[in-house]
Amino acid sequence: MNQSLYDAVFCVDVGGQKVDPFGAATVDFGKVISDMKLGGYEITSLHVAEFMVLHFLDDLRKVKNQIITDTMDLPNREEVCREKYGMSFKDIHALEPTKDFEFDLKSGQVILFLSHDAQYMEDAYMQVFGQELSQFCQQTGFIYTKLGEAI
């Protein structure tokens, strides 16, 4: 995609300044667009952000499922989970990243946040997925807001 077309499709004018929601992304943006075209997605800023977020949330779901698989048959799974993740097996099992996270595109930036119903589980999400979330935000330039704080 040439720069003029990229700017026309993705960049937003905010107060006379061009803001690129994907300007800080270190991911292979060309591959993201190529995968989206293969899937028949319409290429818009909102759809690209959604595509990236949904893949990330699916990865979090896989991490959770791996934790459950690794600990479910242990006789002391509660203790192992509390020691390693700081919460019970049941609490880890209750985390639903693909349903609890939301995103929005505001002023040319992609903002991630927990849904209103899931905000009480924010500490649990940070304990289990904080490192992955931080890494995702660094790679994409997206911003996660944590009850008024941004990471």
Number of domains in the chain: 1
pTM for this prediction: 0.85
- CA dihedral (116, 120, 125, 128) in degrees, to 10, reads -160
Q: What is the pLDDT of residues 10-43, one digit of tens each?
A: 777 777 778 788 888 888 888 888 888 998 988 8
* Percentage of the chain lying above the pLDDT 70 cut: 94
For the record, the structure tokens of 142 come out as 């997206």
Q: How confident is the model at residue 147 (pLDDT cuts 50, 70, 90)?
A: low
Residue 51 sits at the vertex; the CA angle it makes with 61 and 117, to the nearest 5 degrees, is: 50
Q: pLDDT tens digits, residue range 106-117? A: 878 899 999 988
Maximum distance among all Cα pairs of the chain, rounded to whole angstroms: 61
Range of the domain at 56: 3-150
**Dihedral angle computed from the Cα positions of residues 51, 57, 63 and 68, in that order, rounded to the nearest 10 degrees:** -130
